[in-house]
Homo-oligomer: A and B are copies of this chain.
Amino acid sequence: MLRSVIRPGVYYDSVVLMRVQRSLAALPDVLDAGVVMATPANREILAAGSLLPEDLANSRADDLLIVIRAASAAAAEYALSQLDELLRARRTASAESYRPHALTTAIGELPDARWVMISVPGEHAAALARQALDEGKNVFLYSDNVTLTEELELKQLAGERGLLMMGPDCGTAILSGVGFGFANRVRRGGIGLIGASGTGLQAIASRIHELGGGLSHALGTGGRDLHQEIGGLTALAALDLLSRDEETRVIVLVSKPPAPGIATRVLAAARRTGKPVVVHFLGQPRPERRVGTLHFATSLAEAAEIAAGLAEQTEPAGASFAKSSPGALLRGLFSGGTLAAEALLGLRVFLRTIASNVGHDASYRDTSQNGHRLLDLGDDEFTVGRPHPMIDLTLLRERIRAAATESSVGVVLLDVVLGDGAHADPASELAPEIAAGKALAASQGRALEVVVIVIGTEGDPQDLARQVAELGGSGATVVRSVGEAIERVTAVLAVPTGERSGRPVPIEALRPPVAVINVGLESFHDSLVAQGAATLQMDWKPPAGGNRRLTEILAKMGAPRR
């Protein structure tokens, strides 16, 4: 016995409908019930459950469908008769209060609200968010299915106005202890989170709490913020905001791997905060465990643990950033393939494009572009008919000399591998070459930094201490691992300044009292109420009764953008 009702052009949020559906299904002799907006996906699900009568097959996405399968016609009729009351009774205690239909009215009702939280269907979300930004409100945009073009427009508008635009598809945020969307109850403390992904932030927040740590704020950016097209606009604004927030002593930045140029920019901004920043780019190999003030994590749990550890340290991180020589270039000259690969991997994140012969990459042959270069001189092509560069330093010396004459080169990075089988005294050949190169550069008024990674033990026949002393005596910076070399190289070489183009977001955006206008899922309103936040639920309906063509016509008449 299947009975159905169609209500064109009405809107209830999906959580409300889920609850009504469950109430109907629980009525006596009702076998199954469906209460859904008639999107193609939902019609498919109804059909799979044998809950889609023929005459409803052509309903439209903005129609509300109610279908009852019951043991008897009477039971089905009774269930349908309860529908309106259930829809009306959907609300909690707060339901009886006045609910404005327009955003401007809502703002008038709750003028302290610095935030508008939006969770209406994606096709309507961007217009609402634009309106909120135009009214000078920061936006938490939970809705997904918003286009990339709309996202960019919204974030650019936010930048012009000095507002924070979290989302679209932003699942979570915590501002001064108040959770937006999905959020865990965590203690307050000195760790600020920035994350694209909702559950990533939630996992880190929960773990920090478990470890005894606490959060200042957690800011969401939406899953596509670090895409090339968006350019990390919200992440950069959030980093800037947390850098100015006195409560925040440690920052955690979690995201899927960003577009390469964006990663470079965001990491430069992270270093510029002067605060320790734990970075977790999920699925991207870590450049090193630590580079300057940046700490790289492998998993959500590890990101939390590193942050909790850093927050306990009393000593401030110190702004380790960058005596930068704008535009200066790197020449990496390696005899060890694995050392070259580790250096390339670590530096690429910071310097972006490095031409190299490591990893089947012939880009280093492209001499038309005068950029950073890193060569493995032990590669097959260099060793046919001549000894390995760990034995024969001729090639290395020639290239050090060549690099020193290039006015654009700021750093020469090389490795010296000691031990049996290797050159008996590499420093005797390299130190004079390095000293001459530095002298040449100095005579031309340039600074040339030479970083040497020395691998070996004090038992090696070359005398490790003497090698280090002689290389150091030539003016080179001697380090003992690739990680230290990366730290040194990135501290010297110019990193894109990545200045934000947008106006800074006033720090008050994060401060209590947190007041929010909620448009969309009533359950989010309920949880704000439960947390004691000032909040106002808007009674939103799709414009023009959900008629998309009419909506577009209204939009062209200039209605929404005011």
Contact = CB atoms under 8 A, between A and B. Distances in A.
Interface in A299-336: 299-302, 335-336
A203 interface: yes
A381 B181 CA distance: 20
Nearest to A210: B457
A488 B258 CA distance: 30
Contact of A182 (B171, B342, B422): B422
A377 to B, nearest CB: 12
B342 A282 contact: yes
A480 B346 CA distance: 31
A401 interface: no
Interface in A356-384: 359, 378, 380-381, 383-384
Contacts of A210: 457, 480
B36 A185 contact: no
A317 B206 CA distance: 30
B288 A285 contact: no
Nearest to A196: B338
B385 A299 contact: no
Contact of A289 (B179, B283, B299): B299
Contacts of A289: 298-299, 302
Given A301-B482, A338-B200, A527-B421, A18 B387 contact: yes
A206 B37 CA distance: 66
Interface string A191-210: 00001011110110011011
Given A199-B338, A336-B203, A481-B203, A185 B461 contact: yes
Nearest to A524: B421
Interface residues of A, number: 97
Contact of A386 (B14, B181, B383, B482): B14
A385 B542 CA distance: 14
A421 B298 contact: no
Contact of A301 (B15, B203, B483): B483
Nearest to A345: B283
A530 interface: yes
A261 interface: no
Interface stretch (A98-106, A268-276, A412-420): A412-420
Given A385-B42, A456-B206, A481-B301, A338 B285 contact: no
A179 B380 contact: no
Contact of A459 (B41, B186, B418): B186
A145 B382 CA distance: 11
14 contacts: A14-B385, A42-B386, A61-B385, A183-B419, A185-B420, A199-B337, A200-B338, A206-B419, A256-B341, A283-B285, A288-B299, A289-B302, A300-B338, A300-B342
Given A14-B387, A184-B455, A256-B338, 12 more contacts: A41-B385, A121-B385, A144-B383, A169-B380, A172-B421, A182-B422, A187-B459, A200-B337, A202-B417, A283-B359, A285-B285, A300-B339
Interface of A: 14-15, 18, 36-37, 39, 41-42, 45, 61, 121, 144-145, 169, 171-172, 179, 181-187, 195, 197-200, 202-203, 206-207, 209-210, 223, 254, 256, 282-286, 288-289, 296, 298-302, 335-339, 341-342, 345-346, 359, 378, 380-381, 383-388, 390-392, 394, 415, 417-422, 455-457, 459-461, 480-483, 521, 523-524, 527, 530-531
